[in-house]
Amino acid sequence: MDLDFAAEEEEFRQRARDWLAAHVPAVPLPSLETEEGFAAHREWERALAADRWSVVSWPKEYGGRGVDIVKWLVFEEEYYAAGAPARVSQNGINLLAPTLFDFGTAEQRARVLPSMATGEVIWAQAWSEPESGSDLASLRSTARRTDGGWRLDGHKTWSSRAAFADRAFGLFRSEPYEPGYETGHAAGSGAAGKPHRGLTYLMFPLDADGVTVRPVGRLDGKPAFAELFLDDVFVPDEDVIGEPGQGWRIAMSTTGDERGLTLRSPGRFLASADRLARRWRAEADPADTALRDRVADAVIGARAYELFTWACASRFAAGERIGAESSLNKVFWSEYDIALHETALDLLGAEGELAEGGPAEGELAEGAPAGQDWMEGYVFSLAGPIYAGANEIQRDIIAERLLGLPKGRR
């Protein structure tokens, strides 16, 4: 792994840094988990796309710059270092788009990707169901064949971005599955014997007839998620990704992207650890060595995550895929994120308890995040060990597929 950057990569870094310095809003945008903030972040996506900074790694015909993974990671570092707004298009750009590049048709890419890049269409993730969270293969929402398409019925929950988004993507059962069949009968060759068979990957609009969106508030009351109720919702054949019944294989590609590099690039944590360290140097009690060591651990963790990511990037560049190793990545960043925010809140003391009405970003020395920014980040970080595949499941994957340990009793 070569950590020296080529001249063209450094030139790209400088161009990104200059653009961000000129365009990142001086006043932080409202939380994207509110209607006002969601609209403001959508406008930010449009500004990024206007100068082709929204999706730098995409081909130019879809609004990108066609850069490789090294330059994408460089851009991510600069983006977070500049304190740029969170990406409201994250689900679409980081999860659905890679799936369309791998499994979608040319028509789907031409139709879906440009409006995704500009923020005109924001995508929600519709995976989990009330009794099918980490055990995604047990989902019950159905897709029935009809003339020209499919009829969707069911209930999705914890759908991120769905409270204000335009469209969603997810899995639906298109062939019947009988729980217990594989243990009580001779295993069959169809979906009845294998719960992950007979699933179809579909896209659908959230304003379609038969779709009800019910926001779900976080601990702070903001609707970061929503429940989706689908009652005989028509979806045309053109919105099926890949072959009907092959959704599980496609979804595993998507979840690999989510657990791996795309959802949490190291730039996010490097910037947060840097701001935490600067806040420590400016305000902390030097005699508090225990808190000092936690700040040091945060900086070391961010650096370790960066190095692991660059190692993965080198393998990607060589044409490899990281497969089950993405579970290592997911467990690390989700638990690191919580520890980082807990350290920041302990450093801030009473100020860190402010959810609203605290000092604005610009009122703090050296651009350190305001107390309410750390608190909002902490509230969201608590979901990290659950979404993108619960960490308990990820540890099973690590034990069985990477370490070769025998399967435990479920």
30, burial (CB in 10 Å: exposed 0-12, middle 13-18, buried 19+): middle
> Is the model's pTM score more than 0.75?
yes
Contact 308, 329 (CB under 8 A): yes
Pick the closest to residue 170 from 89, 257, 99, 93 (CA basis).
Answer: 99
Structure tokens at 209: 């007839």
**Residue-level pLDDT at 376:** 83
Report the alpha-carbon distance of residue 64 to residue 62 in Å, rounded. 6
Output the CA–CA distances (angstroms, integers) from residue 135 to 46, 153, 179, in the order listed.
Answer: 36, 19, 13
**Residue-level pLDDT at 362:** 37
Provide the 8-state DSSP code for 63: T
Report the alpha-carbon distance of residue 133 to residue 124 in Å, rounded. 16
In angstroms, how far is CA 305 from the centroid of its own chain?
17
Output the CA–CA distances (angstroms, integers) from residue 233 to 111, 129, 138, 145, 347, in the order listed.
Answer: 21, 17, 21, 12, 50
**Residue-level pLDDT at 88:** 95
Strand (E) positions, 147-271?
149-160, 167-173, 199-205, 211-216, 225-236, 240-241
Contact 276, 328 (CB under 8 A): no
Q: How many CB atoms lie within 10 A of CB 251?
A: 22
- Can you spell out the DSSP letters for 347-397? HHGGGGG-SSSS--GGGSGGGPPPHHHHHHHHHHHTTTTTTTS-HHHHHHH
Pick the closest to residue 84 from 20, 130, 4, 157 (CA basis).
Answer: 20
Report the alpha-carbon distance of residue 276 to residue 280 in Å, rounded. 6
In angstroms, how far is CA 59 from the centroid of its own chain?
21
User: Strand 123-126 and strand 240-241: pairing?
Assistant: unpaired
Structure-model confidence comparison of residues 177 and 196, the more confident one: 196
Residue 284 zone, left/alpha/beta (φ > 0; ψ -120 to 50; rest): beta
**Residue-level pLDDT at 178:** 57
Contact 50, 57 (CB under 8 A): no
Structure tokens at 269: 């944590």
Contact 168, 123 (CB under 8 A): yes
Band (148; pLDDT cuts 50, 70, 90): very high
pLDDT in tens, 228-273: 999 999 999 999 999 999 998 898 776 655 445 556 789 999 999 9
Pick the closest to residue 43 from 21, 63, 70, 23 (CA basis).
Answer: 23
**Residue-level pLDDT at 133:** 64
pLDDT in tens, 76-114: 999 999 999 999 999 999 999 999 999 999 999 999 999
Report the alpha-carbon distance of residue 284 to residue 298 in Å, rounded. 15
User: Mean pLDDT for the chain?
Assistant: 87
Strand (E) positions, 39-138?
123-126
Residues 6+ positions from 410 with CB-CB distance below 8 Å? none
**Residue-level pLDDT at 353:** 79
Provide the 8-state DSSP code for 24: S
- Per the listing, tokens 């399967």 go with 407
Check if 258 is active-site: yes
Q: Which of 258, 306, 325, 376 is catalytic?
A: 258
pLDDT in tens, 339-351: 999 999 999 998 8
**Residue-level pLDDT at 239:** 98
User: Strand 225-236 and strand 149-160: pairing?
Assistant: antiparallel
Output the CA–CA distances (angstroms, integers) from residue 401 to 308, 328, 405, in the order listed.
Answer: 19, 11, 8
**Residue-level pLDDT at 311:** 86
Q: Output the 3-class SS for 249-261.
A: HHHHHHHHHHHCC
Band (366; pLDDT cuts 50, 70, 90): very low
Pick the closest to residue 202 from 123, 134, 307, 121 (CA basis).
Answer: 123
